[in-house]
């Protein structure tokens, strides 16, 4: 078992346990003062939650259409009907959707109660469950309403990853690929537990230095500007990690055109992404004009113009005011190497 600690400058900390069978450690992570444990999960998630407190399971629906304010309202009403108090704890067991919704419900119920996450997908373990972002979607866009609410512990049971559907696994690998350029180096050479732990370590370090994304935390969005646009343009036929994989290669092509990196580095992006069995080319039917429009409206954009996380000599950094002509040329480069 690998035990990591996400340490915040103000003294708060969040243990993260990574390893095969780590979910057996859940009982030890329930805060002492909790008398009741509200487990939020979905049908079919293969984790038996064992605690030594009074425990009740609350199921939420499958799919983004359930990542809503009404699901959170429903959960909070069920918590209230059961008598959950502010000393009790919510445990989110599942992928990113579950931990985002469970974390949000915990953060607003009685103005905030403890939450522990048991992340069951690769994407959840290396990203969604770490760092305290919670949220739900609005008709206007993904994750537009949410809170920062740090879990009191996170459990990443790598034994659960063996039974992930192929597409869900690949989705996690797309997100994992980005860590190669966030200090991960040759992540692909590590065993699975070590690889998950290495990503958690990188994310923990970034989040601890910038919990509310006023600077460094935005670097975690490497590859995401195009990825979010591709997801919307294709009506979510591409899964998030698949879109991030393509977004990483696009960000490299753009950085090359801006003279920030050389062609060998672009090839390295392709090698890593393809090494994880992911596509590097644009979907045949994507609409470049629409993608340009969507990238201009990305949630990370704080002022007019296009904003990207791009690689350069000093590593990745946020670059504002990117020239749209170069962005279009980067699409041409993607098409010509497809
Ligand atoms: N998924 C990006 C972040 O947690 O900041």
Q: What are the tens digits of pLDDT across the range 262-319?
A: 999 999 999 999 999 999 999 999 999 999 999 987 666 556 689 999 999 999 999 9
Least confident of 233-247, 287-301, 316-330: 287-301
Residue 297 has a pLDDT of: 78
Q: Is any atom of ligand 1 closer than 6 Å to the C-beta of 217? A: yes
Phi, psi for residue 323 in degrees, rounded to 5: -70, 120
Residue 303 has a pLDDT of: 64
> Ligand 1 centre from 123 Cα, in Å?
11
Residue 300 has a pLDDT of: 61
Residue 48 has a pLDDT of: 86
DSSP assignment of 226-269: HHHHHHHHTTT-S-HHHHHHHHHHHHHHHHHHTTSS-HHHHHHH
Residue 338 has a pLDDT of: 66
Tell which atom from ligand 1 comes closest to the C-alpha of 130: 4
* Mean pLDDT on 48-57: 93
pLDDT digits (tens, 9 = 90+) for 20-47: 999 999 999 999 999 999 999 999 998 8
Q: Is any atom of ligand 1 closer than 6 Å to the C-beta of 133? A: yes
- CA gap 37, 90 in Å, rounded: 6
Q: Which two tokens stand for residue 111?
A: 């103005």
> Ligand 1 centre from 220 Cα, in Å?
6
Phi, psi for residue 63 in degrees, rounded to 5: 105, 155
Classified by CATH at the fold level, domain 2-209 comes out as: Rossmann fold (3.40.50)
> 196, 23, 7, 197: which is closest to 116 by C-alpha?
23
Task: Kindly list the distances between the CA atom of residue 165 and the CA atoms of 37, 130, 156, 161, in Å, as whole numbers in the listed order.
Answer: 29, 22, 17, 9
Residue 141 has a pLDDT of: 77
Strand, coil or helix: what is 332?
Answer: helix
> 131, 107, 109: which is closest to 119 by C-alpha?
131
Domain range annotation of the chain: 2-209, 222-336
Residues in a beta bridge with 133: 148
Tell which atom from ligand 1 comes closest to the C-alpha of 220: 2
Q: Is any atom of ligand 1 closer than 6 Å to the C-beta of 127? A: yes
* Mean pLDDT on 225-241: 91
CA angle 306, 311, 317 (to 5 degrees): 65
Residue 85 has a pLDDT of: 98
- CA gap 312, 315 in Å, rounded: 5
Residues in a beta bridge with 145: 136
pLDDT digits (tens, 9 = 90+) for 100-156: 999 999 999 999 999 999 999 999 999 999 999 999 998 877 888 999 999 999 999
Residues 198 and 158 sit within 8 Å (Cβ to Cβ):
no
Q: Is any atom of ligand 1 closer than 6 Å to the C-beta of 131? A: yes
Residues 34 and 172 sit within 8 Å (Cβ to Cβ):
no
Residue 50: pLDDT band (50, 70, 90) is confident
Q: Is any atom of ligand 1 closer than 6 Å to the C-beta of 161? A: no
Residue 147 has a pLDDT of: 98
CA angle 78, 82, 86 (to 5 degrees): 95
Q: Are strands 114-119 and 89-94 parallel, antiparallel or unpaired?
A: parallel
> Ligand 1 centre from 95 Cα, in Å?
14
Q: Which two tokens stand for residue 146?
A: 């949410």
Residues in a beta bridge with 114: 89
- CA gap 34, 172 in Å, rounded: 32
Classified by CATH at the fold level, domain 222-336 comes out as: Dehydroquinate synthase-like, alpha domain (1.20.1090)
Average pLDDT score, the chain: 94
Q: Is any atom of ligand 1 closer than 6 Å to the C-beta of 96? A: no
DSSP assignment of 105-158: HHHHGGG--EEEEEE-SHHIIIIITSS-B--EEETTEEEEE--B---SEEEEEG
Residue 302 has a pLDDT of: 59
């Amino acid at each position: 078992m690998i035990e990591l600690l996400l340490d915040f400058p103000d003294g708060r900390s969040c243990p993260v346990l990574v390893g095969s069978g780590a979910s057996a450690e859940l009982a030890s992570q329930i805060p002492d003062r909790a008398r009741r444990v509200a487990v939020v999960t979905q049908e079919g998630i293969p984790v038996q939650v064992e605690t030594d407190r009074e425990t009740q399971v609350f199921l939420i629906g499958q799919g983004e259409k359930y990542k809503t304010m009404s699901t959170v309202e429903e959960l909070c009403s069920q918590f209230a009907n059961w008598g959950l108090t502010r000393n009790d704890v919510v445990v989110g067991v599942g992928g990113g959707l579950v931990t985002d919704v469970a974390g949000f419900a915990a953060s607003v119920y009685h103005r905030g109660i403890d939450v522990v996450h048991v992340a069951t997908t690769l994407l959840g373990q290396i990203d969604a469950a770490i760092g305290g972002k919670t949220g739900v979607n609005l008709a206007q866009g993904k994750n537009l309403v949410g809170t920062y609410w740090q879990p009191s512990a996170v459990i990443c049971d790598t034994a659960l990853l063996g039974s992930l559907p192929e597409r869900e696994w690949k989705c996690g690998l797309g997100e994992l690929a980005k860590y190669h350029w966030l200090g991960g180096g040759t992540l692909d050479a590590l065993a699975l537990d070590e690889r998950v732990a290495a990503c958690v370590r990188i994310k923990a370090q970034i989040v601890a230095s910038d919990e509310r994304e006023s600077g460094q935390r935005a670097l975690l969005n490497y590859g995401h500007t195009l990825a979010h646009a591709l997801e919307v343009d294709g009506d979510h036929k591409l899964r998030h990690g698949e879109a991030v994989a393509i977004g990483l290669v696009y960000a490299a092509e753009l950085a090359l055109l801006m003279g920030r990196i050389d062609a060998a580095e672009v090839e390295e992006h392709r090698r890593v992404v393809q090494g994880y069995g992911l596509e590097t080319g644009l979907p045949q039917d994507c609409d470049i004009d629409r993608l340009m429009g969507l990238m201009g409206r990305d949630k990370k954009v704080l002022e007019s113009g296009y904003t990207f996380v791009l690689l350069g000599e000093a590593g990745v950094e946020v670059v504002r005011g990117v020239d749209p002509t170069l962005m279009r040329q980067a699409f041409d480069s993607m098409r010509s190497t497809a």
